Amino acid sequence: GEFKFDLDTPVYKGNVSCNTGLFIDGKFVDAVEGGTIDVINPSTGKILTKVAAATSKDVDIAVAAAKKAYKTSWGLKVPGTQRGELLMKLATLLEANIDEFAALECLNVGKPWSESRGFDMKLTLQTLKYYAGWADKVHGKTIETNEQKLAYTRHEPYGVVGQIVPWNYPLTMVSWKIGPALATGNVVVLKVPSEITPLTALKLAGLIQEAGFPPGVVNIIPGYGATAGAALSLHPDVRKIAFTGSTLTGRKIQEASAKSNLKVVTLELGGKSPNIIFDDADLEQAVKWAAIGIFSNSGQVCTAGSRIFVQEGIYDAFIKAFRQAAAGINTQTGDPFSEGTIHGPVVSQTQLDRVMGYIDAAKAEGATPIIGGERHSLTDGFFVKPTIFTDCTPEMKIVQEEVFGPVAAVVKFKTEDEVIEMANDSNYGLACAVFTENVSRAVRVSNALEAGMAWVNCNVTTEHNVPFGGYKQSGYGRELGAYAIDTYTQVKAVHINV
């Protein structure tokens, strides 16, 4: 089937459309068992369309198609230059349709246009172009040996790679996954950006067809995690799973690997990133970045600076200005397609209930909501006001657990040693941010924090050519940059007797 929607908005006028089937072996098809998923508009709570829901039977078909494509028309059989050209063609097609993609993402995820068009789509495009450029630059080393031998290494693809992504950056996450996988010669079965936000990935499937990728090289199948996702992670012909999502699901994927064929697993999981503001920080910058860190994408950001540690000397001034920033964002909450909107709804009813549950728990544990702490009564959509809790203590749920919503937990601190200890007191280790004008302290503290990414005097910025990933229970393996190339290739050492 086909989804079509007319938009007549201040930022976008025209149609948005995509196919609603499973994209397998170069064609759109219905699910074998005929199941569908309702796709909801989070700004209104109303259903937009239904898309096909894959079950294990469809996963089997998609994996078989991918396996065949790997043998016949991809892998190292196809020169890197050719793989790169196809990826570049895909990027060019995406660029030509970028506004429509941005609008479709706003509709399905509730992202403000400014974020969808201004951030997500830009990063998606850069990522695809970047990995298109990598496709003919992956090579091994020659190694001197003691024996009369020549040794060299080859960086070979895994073959069929299963990819599972969440709903917070649907299309962007797809580009992070397929870009390096295809550049290095793998074939892909992608369970699309979570069952609740499949539309832009399905639209991209149409462009993959148009670009002329051989059938089966990329398969894109919407489906529920417990069925399609689980089947993919258990499949004996899948050699690697690349997963982005919650820590809970990450564990299940690793278990599935252990139970099946010991497929390689890379995990990008949740976070509870500390954002540390020292007395000597530039107040205006610290406030600006703290707000971006926790309120952009309605806080549904894995690297969100959700624990804000503020030193006692700057505390009062910071809280006053941070509260003002949240109040400003609250006045710019609303329809994703309005020009001034910078704060949209959270993605679903489930997510809304989860965020409100954390807000209630924080109140019950004695934290003080100095602003927000409730739903926005704007529309029937899933809007939560930008919320700041003060008087937070390290053992509170709001400080320990990932909320994935626009909710900041502020903790006051005295010394550098104390804040390093508190910041590291977390199962997560995805990212951290440090605000200080003292360069020695910036280096000392960012070195001491247990996190895969550290920002100094900025926050949550992501570049397509800089590695992205976590420590501890935030996962392992790196996406983006040259590092992702390593996670999609296995090394073969060849010894030649001379």
Contact 234, 260 (CB under 8 A): yes
Binding to ligand NAD in span 226-255, by CB under 6 A: 226, 229-230, 233, 244-246, 249, 252-253
Q: With respect to ligand NAD, which residue has the nearer C-beta, 19 or 462?
A: 462
- Give yes or no for residue 168 binding ligand NAD (CB under 6 A): yes
Q: With respect to ligand NAD, which residue has the nearer C-beta, 249 or 387?
A: 249
Count residues contacting ligand NAD (CB under 6 A)?
A: 30
Known active-site residue 268: yes
Closest approach, Cβ 249 to ligand NAD, in A, equals 3
- Beta-carbon contacts of 330 under 8 Å, excluding residues fewer than 6 positions away, are 343, 371, 372, 376, 385, 386
Closest approach, Cβ 131 to ligand NAD, in A, equals 17
- Give yes or no for residue 471 binding ligand NAD (CB under 6 A): no
- Beta-carbon contacts of 96 under 8 Å, excluding residues fewer than 6 positions away, are none
Q: With respect to ligand NAD, which residue has the nearer C-beta, 186 or 474?
A: 474
Distances (CA, A) of 280 to 314, 444, 446: 8, 15, 16
Binding to ligand NAD in span 352-371, by CB under 6 A: none
Contact 387, 373 (CB under 8 A): yes
Closest CA to 120 of 71, 168, 179, 180: 168
Q: Does an H or E element contain 343, and which?
A: none
Angle in degrees, 0-180, between the axes of helices 170-183 and 199-211, rounded to the nearest 10: 30
Angle in degrees, 0-180, between the axes of helices 121-134 and 98-109, rounded to the nearest 10: 120
Q: With respect to ligand NAD, which residue has the nearer C-beta, 5 or 224?
A: 224
Backbone angles phi, psi at 98, to 5 degrees: -65, -35
Strands (E), 289-367: 307-311
- Give yes or no for residue 194 binding ligand NAD (CB under 6 A): yes
Binding to ligand NAD in span 285-304, by CB under 6 A: 302
234 C-beta neighbours (distance < 10 Å), count: 20
Closest approach, Cβ 289 to ligand NAD, in A, equals 19
Among 23, 70, 74, 167, binds ligand NAD (CB under 6 A): 167
Among 104, 292, 371, 430, binds ligand NAD (CB under 6 A): 430
Binding to ligand NAD in span 42-81, by CB under 6 A: none
Q: With respect to ligand NAD, which residue has the nearer C-beta, 18 or 451?
A: 451
3-state helix, strand, coil in the chain (%, to 5): 40, 25, 35
Contact 65, 216 (CB under 8 A): yes
Residue type for position 145? T
- Give yes or no for residue 462 binding ligand NAD (CB under 6 A): no
Annotate each residue in 302-341 with x if it binds ligand NAD (CB under 6 A) or - if it does not, as one string.
x---------------------------------------
Work out whether strand 431-435 and strand 428-429 pair parallel, antiparallel, or are unpaired. Answer: unpaired
Backbone angles phi, psi at 371, to 5 degrees: -160, 150
- Give yes or no for residue 271 binding ligand NAD (CB under 6 A): yes
Nearest residue relative to ligand NAD (C-beta): 225
Total residue count of the chain as it appears in this document: 498
Taking each continuous run of H as one helix and of E as one strand, the counts in the chain are 16, 24
Among 218, 269, 329, 410, binds ligand NAD (CB under 6 A): 269
Annotate each residue in 173-192 with x if it binds ligand NAD (CB under 6 A) or - if it does not, as one string.
------------------x-
Q: Residue 187 forms beta bridges with which residues?
A: 160
Closest CA to 477 of 220, 241, 133: 241
- Give yes or no for residue 477 binding ligand NAD (CB under 6 A): no
Q: Residue 15 forms beta bridges with which residues?
A: 6
Q: Which of 100, 195, 268, 479 is catalytic?
A: 268
Binding to ligand NAD in span 389-428, by CB under 6 A: 402, 404
Among 21, 26, 157, 166, binds ligand NAD (CB under 6 A): 166
Q: Does an H or E element contain 71, and which?
A: helix 56-73
Q: With respect to ligand NAD, which residue has the nearer C-beta, 224 or 315?
A: 224
* Of 80-88, 124-132, 153-161, 262-270: span binding ligand NAD (CB under 6 A): 262-270
Residues assigned a catalytic role: 268
Q: Which residues bind ligand NAD (CB under 6 A)?
A: 164-168, 191, 194-195, 224-226, 229-230, 233, 244-246, 249, 252-253, 268-271, 302, 402, 404, 430, 470, 475
